[in-house]
Amino acid sequence: MKQFLYVVGAIVGLVLIVYLGSLTRNSLQEYNYIGRDVRDTITINGQGEVDVKPDLTTVTLGVTTEGDTVEAIQAENTEKMNSIIARLKEQGIAEDDIKTLNFSVNPRYSWEDGERTEVGYEIRQNVQVKIRDESLTSKILAEAGKLGANQVGGLNFTIDDTSEFEQEARLKAIDDAKDKAQELADELGLNLVRVVSFSEAGGGQPTPMYGMMERSVSADAAMPEPTIETGTQKVTSYVSVTFEVR
């Protein structure tokens, strides 16, 4: 009877040893693969660019008036600026696209023998104008000068809505990444299986272009229309694509 019990105990012990060994092996295998991506992948960067002609011009128009009394120069300044704003609207500029940037009244001084003497006053008023029709830009600048604008500056050429061009640049960037990935896979003797992940870096928005036109003009001078060239701007997309390979 004792011998029988010894045999049964030996068998149970052997089963336990095998079972525990199996658990240990499975645990080690599970540990080895936790957090690991068993797929073979390559990650490629792509870039796409689209040249776009700006469709929105922003310019600042100003009137500066000097004189002996505030009352006199305010009337003159207001008349000129109101005439400019009215002409802008006549040329099709929407009211929402005309914004007053500043209106200031300041004394003017002269210095003689180290003493400051008040000699009059100065009024400055500036408006920012958004021009959505490129063909009007030169005409508006010339008309503003004729009507008394003696400060013109801050020409800024931008793209009003870039979403369509961002998508076009993004597709070009993806195609660029695919071409590079295929070329690399061919060199390594691999096959592209599918896209594992995709990301897009910052970019997209073009850098505004500024024109330097800060100058004083005379309302009585002949005002030919200046030639304004907007050029083109680049809308760019940068992508990173990870491909599974075999």
pLDDT of 16 reads 55
pLDDT of 189 reads 94
Between CA 46 and CA 174 the distance in angstroms is: 6
pLDDT of 115 reads 85
Count of C-beta atoms within a 10 Å radius of residue 45: 14
- Write down the CATH number for the domain with range 56-159+216-228: 3.30.70.2970
Q: Where are the domains of the chain?
A: 56-159+216-228
> One digit per residue, pLDDT tens: the chain, 246 residues?
656 555 545 565 555 565 555 555 555 554 444 444 557 999 999 999 999 999 999 999 999 999 999 999 999 999 999 999 999 999 999 999 999 999 999 999 998 888 888 999 999 999 999 999 989 999 999 999 999 999 999 899 999 999 999 999 999 999 999 999 999 999 999 999 999 999 998 665 565 555 444 444 444 445 578 888 888 999 999 999 999 999
Are 240 and 44 within 8 A, CB to CB? yes
pLDDT of 114 reads 82
